[in-house]
Structure 1
Amino acid sequence: MGRTLKVPHTLILLLGMMVIALMATWIVPQGFFETSLSDSGRQMVVSGTYQVIENKTYLTPWDLLTAIPRAFAAAQDVIFFVLIVGGVLAIARATGTVDALIGRLLEKYGSRPQKLIFMVVFCFAMASSSIGTAGEYIPFVLILVALCKAMRLDAMTAVGMIVAGYGIGYGVSAFNPFTVLIAQQIAEIPVYSGIWLRLAIFIPFVLIGFHHVWQYAQKVKQDPSNSMMIGVACPLDGQVQPSYPKLETRHQVILGSFLITLTVAVWGIATKGWYLYELGGVFIAWGAVIAILGKLSADETAERFIEGVSDLVTTAILIGVARGIALILEDGQILHTLVHSMSLPLSYVSAEISAVGMLVIQTILNTFIPSGSGQAYVTMPLMVPLGDLVGVPRQVAVLAYQFGDGFSNMIIPTNAVLMGIIGMAGVPYAHWFRFCLPLLLKLMVAASVVLVLAVYFGYGLDVQPMIEP
């Protein structure tokens, strides 16, 4: 008699990871690098200053319990943004605009889902590559889930489109200000130098992501029993209509206001340094606008907003607990120890292998330091002198950092944006891991080839600073 392995709920998986992180703080030596303030005011580690803490302090189970509410506080920006977007989209749905838009997209792409998948992956990758968008994709989740369901696909396909674009865009970013710019500044090479290679590999990597999602979508469309979401409730069950309203003028005006909202958000990110608090305010304003345009009463608007928020409470909880894993590791003072220990073996291998090793290290460390800019400030001051020692150009070290940070964003459970996206779509983390792991491995192999060739052909040597003897 065969036995079916029951995968725990995503919340249980995350709590289990917190327990493992706590136990790791008991085993791994505590240590730290000295830090200094960068020109932007961020703390940056100083290479060669690692010290082990002699009087080790041990976290207790009580520290684990108190880390959970602290993690909710630390992730509040993402949590509240997700809740606000859920509420505002519920208002938009009440006007019939979302259903009318889905109907129009079905007319255009219903028989050609491959074009829709490529368009979404490409556009999201472009946005992430250029301006570092991530949490801004959350408003599209439920719309794409509904669209995929109407096309006889599943929520996994919708999430695959979004997250593949997001992760690949960050990984091969041409000029993302939150990753490329910061890493190149730390490496002391010209900002945005070497852009020709990053632009050249953009389309090939996007095609890897598109092919993975489209291959899965084809299997589901041909035989729904191939779906990884069998037995998992869709968040839109009972909400998608068999027939869709016509896209009328008022719907088009509301969609136009949505584009204006996104334009304002992008402008604020690019010129004012806005992030999720400001974006939440922008979407609240949009909610008020569509309530007026849709001629909804104040009471109906409030009811719809609260319904939308309440549907995403589970998602908010997952985001908060996910942040707790990194918080435990920070409290246990073992993050710098992990960075130090992983970087040591690279000094004993060839430059090509060291470049691939940097990719592996950055991938692993992104689990513990899910912030792209935060990871740059911790790891790049160590990887740059290490690269100088073993012959890895600084431009290649930056590229390894980009690949490791960006691609692993698609799968690490400490990434609050990822947990928000899969939570809104109703995709359990274990199911998502099974879908995404093969894609991550494909991207890692391709990235390793690029790094080896980059070292071999001297990518970045033209901007490599002279090292004083």
Structure 2
Amino acid sequence: MKAFKVPHTLTLLFGMMIVALIATWIVPQGFFETFVNDAGRNVVVPNTFELTGERQFLTPWDLLTAIPRAFAAAQDIIFFVFIVGGVLAIARKTGTVDALIGNLLNKHRDTPEKLIFMVIFFFALASSAIGTAGEYIPFVLILVALCKAMKLDSMTAVGMTVAGYGVGYGLSAFNPFTVLIAQGIAEIPPYSGLWLRLVIFIPFSLIAFHHVWSYAKKVKADPSTSLVADIPCPLDGQEQAEYPTLNGRHRLILATFLGTVGFAIWGISQHGWYLYELGACFVGWGLLITVLGRLSFDEASDSFIEGVKDLTSTAVLIGVARGIALILEDGQILHSIVNGLAMPLSHIPAALSAVGMLLIQTILNLFVPSGSGQAFVTMPLMAPLSDIVGIPRQVAVLAYQFGDGFSNMIVPTNAVLMGIIGIAGVPYDRWFKFCMPLLAKIMLACAVVLVLAVIFGYGADLQEPVQAAVHIMDNVRLS
């Protein structure tokens, strides 16, 4: 028999759309009562689910029309992704990104424990802030070269890279591709609940560091313990990779980036900015660094287009994934599914329900590895489900972030992961053996955080409008 091959993510998403269409013919159709909150968004009122009187059937034509409709519905997210990708490519063209990473690596060449911690910390910080992922691939060979010079192995290089990337995506303090989208779907303020994600950033980074450094120490003491001892290093016989020096111009560009992020956060908190305004901030930063980086506008334009090209697949996945929710909504079974999921979770304590959400998101990430795509697939279900089982929506978003982000470190459908281990020459089965214990440690920590978040009411203050609506609906029914 031929070995099973995991289908392309787009194939999986379209397959999920077909399954969703078939489900609209089978699953009972029904609705929860909703109300419009102060932001003008519909919010589900818990315990109001009722079945519809007559089934409405969708046709295959409805499936096909759902795709362009989905792209239109997700246009603000798609165009924001394009803008961010293009501007980050301009920043890369100035040499600032390479110089920053190179500077950090060069300083800690002779202190591997510091190198490992710094790489994990700064990669996690960047992924948490702006969703960097594929940008780390060019640095893999540099890390492999440094590890080789320090008598470590390529697994250590991959470990520090992917651990930083995974921790950053799992916590997502500002990541516009995950937390911002998920909170928008959950209808809670952008970047709300930031304090908890910042508090647990260091502890989770330390878990990742401890795992990678423990392995690296064993390899340094006894090279035969390396998981890739029998595999040639991809840099055998090659000179060490070079990187530019971090100069004053690079430092100025980094300072303007921090200023841009701060300005965007101020606009969100003070003026209710969203994706259009955030996109404008990044466009402005792109123009500024073009001048500061001494690039011609033609060079900047070429870089911007290349950056947009790199994120085209992400944008397509966002659009198609949105189509799944559209079909469920058109077929009037979205709320039915939410009600069905609520039944088993409603019979266990709320804290355990939050852990159940984490497990669901982790499993789904195998089939929908796009963070944005997974948000559109799952959060329309998880947000109202959290209302029903008594969990703050902020906790549901946190469960999504944990499940999506941390499992990125191991799911074979993750293109970034496969690119990193491919460049380093690490087979997936060896990587799985290295990473699975780390993922288990992190998932245990995630479960503890979610349980405590429910106990202490993390984000409960944002649920007051929902509870008020429940009382209003109850009074209406009683009258």
Q: Scaled by the length of structure 1, what TM-score is found?
A: 0.68
- Determine helix, strand or coil for the equivalent of 1:318: helix
- Determine helix, strand or coil for the equivalent of 2:280: helix
Give 1:53 shift: 1.6
Distance in 1 (CA, whole Å) between partners of 2:187 and 2:435 is: 29
Cα 1:199–1:243 change in 2 (3 A) is closer
Distance in 1 (CA, whole Å) between partners of 2:40 and 2:22 is: 33
Residue 411 of structure 2 corresponds to residue 370 of structure 1: no
- Determine helix, strand or coil for the equivalent of 2:131: helix
After TM superposition, list the pairs within 5 Å mapping 1:247-286 onto structure 2.
Answer: 247-286=246-285
Distance in 2 (CA, whole Å) between partners of 1:179 and 1:68 is: 21
Distance in 2 (CA, whole Å) between partners of 1:410 and 1:441 is: 14
Q: Which residue of 1 aligns with 2:351?
A: 355
Residue 414 of structure 2 corresponds to residue 409 of structure 1: no
Residue 131 of structure 2 corresponds to residue 137 of structure 1: yes
Report the residue type matching 1:26 in the other structure: W
- How many pairs are equivalent? 411
Cα 1:330–1:426 change in 2 (3 A) is farther
- Determine helix, strand or coil for the equivalent of 1:322: helix
Cα 1:54–1:161 change in 2 (3 A) is farther
Task: Give the conservation status (yes or no) of the 8 Å contact 2:24–2:333.
Answer: yes
Sequence identity percentage: 47
Task: Give the conservation status (yes or no) of the 8 Å contact 1:145–1:425.
Answer: no
Distance in 2 (CA, whole Å) between partners of 1:32 and 1:273 is: 30
Task: Give the conservation status (yes or no) of the 8 Å contact 1:117–1:161.
Answer: yes
Give 1:106 shift: 2.1
Give 1:163 shift: 4.0
Give 1:52 shift: 0.9
Task: Give the conservation status (yes or no) of the 8 Å contact 2:123–2:161.
Answer: no
After TM superposition, list the pairs within 5 Å mapping 1:39-438 onto structure 2.
Answer: 39-110=38-109, 111=112, 112-120=114-122, 123=125, 136-138=130-132, 141-152=133-144, 158=161, 160-168=163-171, 204-208=203-207, 242-346=241-345, 348=347, 351=349, 355-361=351-357, 364=360, 370=375, 378-384=384-390, 401=396, 403-410=398-405
- Alignment deviations for residues 208-250 of structure 1 (CA, whole Å, 9 cap, x no partner): 4555677899999986969xxx99xxxxxxxxx9322222222
279-288 vs 375-384, which deviates more? 375-384
Distance in 2 (CA, whole Å) between partners of 1:216 and 1:334 is: 48
Report the residue type matching 2:247 in the other structure: E
In structure 1, the gaps of 5 or more residues are 171-175, 232-240, 385-393
Cα 1:242–1:86 change in 2 (3 A) is same
Report the residue type matching 2:384 in the other structure: V
Report the residue type matching 2:49 in the other structure: Y
Distance in 1 (CA, whole Å) between partners of 2:330 and 2:159 is: 35
Distance in 2 (CA, whole Å) between partners of 1:345 and 1:410 is: 25
- Alignment deviations for residues 142-171 of structure 1 (CA, whole Å, 9 cap, x no partner): 54333334212678864552342332357x
In structure 2, the gaps of 5 or more residues are 145-153, 174-178, 235-239, 365-372, 422-427, 465-470, 472-479
Distance in 2 (CA, whole Å) between partners of 1:179 and 1:10 is: 20
- Determine helix, strand or coil for the equivalent of 1:295: coil
Distance in 1 (CA, whole Å) between partners of 2:285 and 2:342 is: 47
> What is the CA RMSD across the aligned residues, in angstroms?
5.1
Distance in 1 (CA, whole Å) between partners of 2:328 and 2:439 is: 24
Task: Give the conservation status (yes or no) of the 8 Å contact 2:355–2:399.
Answer: yes
Cα 1:448–1:180 change in 2 (3 A) is same
Report the residue type matching 1:167 in the other structure: G
- Alignment deviations for residues 302-324 of structure 1 (CA, whole Å, 9 cap, x no partner): 23322332333233222322322
- Alignment deviations for residues 31-79 of structure 1 (CA, whole Å, 9 cap, x no partner): 1111122344432222222111231122222222222222222232332
Cα 1:123–1:399 change in 2 (3 A) is same
Q: Which residue of 2 aligns with 1:7?
A: 6
- Determine helix, strand or coil for the equivalent of 2:402: helix
Give 1:289 shift: 1.6
Cα 1:399–1:22 change in 2 (3 A) is same
Cα 1:337–1:445 change in 2 (3 A) is farther
Task: Give the conservation status (yes or no) of the 8 Å contact 1:79–1:320.
Answer: yes
Distance in 1 (CA, whole Å) between partners of 2:215 and 2:275 is: 32
Cα 1:439–1:10 change in 2 (3 A) is farther
Give 1:285 shift: 1.6
Report the residue type matching 1:245 in the other structure: P
- Determine helix, strand or coil for the equivalent of 2:35: strand
Task: Give the conservation status (yes or no) of the 8 Å contact 2:70–2:322.
Answer: yes
Report the residue type matching 1:98 in the other structure: V
Cα 1:104–1:97 change in 2 (3 A) is same
Cα 1:400–1:442 change in 2 (3 A) is farther
Distance in 1 (CA, whole Å) between partners of 2:94 and 2:309 is: 19
Task: Give the conservation status (yes or no) of the 8 Å contact 2:166–2:406.
Answer: no
Cα 1:198–1:294 change in 2 (3 A) is closer
Report the residue type matching 1:58 in the other structure: F
Task: Give the conservation status (yes or no) of the 8 Å contact 1:209–1:439.
Answer: yes
